[in-house]
Chain A
């Protein structure tokens, strides 16, 4: 989508034009959905998050200054929503565990339904599961950069815009992510 088209959509959205909103969804739904899916790895949760991303765009369009492109803004919201969702799930899991200890009940299933990414080839499922588990143990910024690069296929420049960091710092974050993953995978395979 060219910037002229984006500008028309933004000005339409600011006027409350529904057809602009519909066009925005049609153009960017796959990008937003795949970004969310890369983090939560569950179709239903990713679908919910995609809806939330677009609702937030609709509500906050007047705060969009236009410093970045609409696609960068959408990626940013999608990443934040996904990370927030994962944090909430982890909190629920911890709370459920404590509750089950005190009330002698079975622990509710609030775990992230990981590794149910529909885009992974069948023969790669097992390896992808191991990689996702290692990825979840990395610091948030490393996980974010790695997910955007590997799953969404964004360039370093695009990732730097989404994460609000310089190109060189993204290179460094991705390098550290790869080193961290190698270390975690090496430990995993030594113990298998």
Chain B
């Protein structure tokens, strides 16, 4: 092994053990008070409601369902005319059957004389 290789090997060893005697640290004082303040400011109880997976998915499903129903209803209203096609054709047939002639101003006199 070359001298430089041995040197690198030694430095690697020194680096790997650099964390061996690491000292434990402590958080800043009054951690509980700070956590409480943070929880109060964030209204954690409300958050827990929204975080609950069941409620979250149930709400999303409900919104999707309501939006789908709205869309379906809207598309039905937009798709149909004021008088449906079938009713229109029925009216025409009835008119033809009972009123064979169309009464206009021109033939009104003839119609009355008859």
A binds B: yes
Q: For the complex, is A143 an interface residue (Cβ under 8 Å from B)?
A: no
Q: For the complex, is A75 an interface residue (Cβ under 8 Å from B)?
A: no
Can you list 12 pairs linking A and B with CB atoms under 8 Å apart?
A29-B27, A46-B27, A51-B35, A59-B44, A59-B51, A117-B25, A127-B15, A181-B16, A182-B16, A185-B15, A186-B8, A186-B12
Give Cα A22 to B39, complex, Å: 13
Q: For the complex, is B11 an interface residue (Cβ under 8 Å from A)?
A: yes
B35 touches A25 (CB 8 A): yes
Give the interface of A toward B (CB within 8 A): 21-22, 25-26, 29-30, 33-34, 37, 43, 46-47, 50-51, 54-55, 58-59, 117-121, 124, 127-128, 130-131, 134, 150-151, 178, 181-182, 185-186, 189-190
Give the interface of B toward A (CB within 8 A): 8, 11-12, 14-16, 18-28, 31-32, 34-35, 38-39, 44, 47-48, 51
Chain B interface SS verdict (over half): helix
Using A51-B38, A128-B18 as known contacts, say yes or no to A182 and B12 having CB atoms under 8 A apart. yes
Give Cα A51 to B51, complex, Å: 18
For residue A24, which residue of chain B has the nearest CB?
Answer: B32
Q: Which residues of B contact A43 (CB under 8 A)?
A: 25
Closest Cβ–Cβ distance, residue B16 to chain A (whole Å): 6
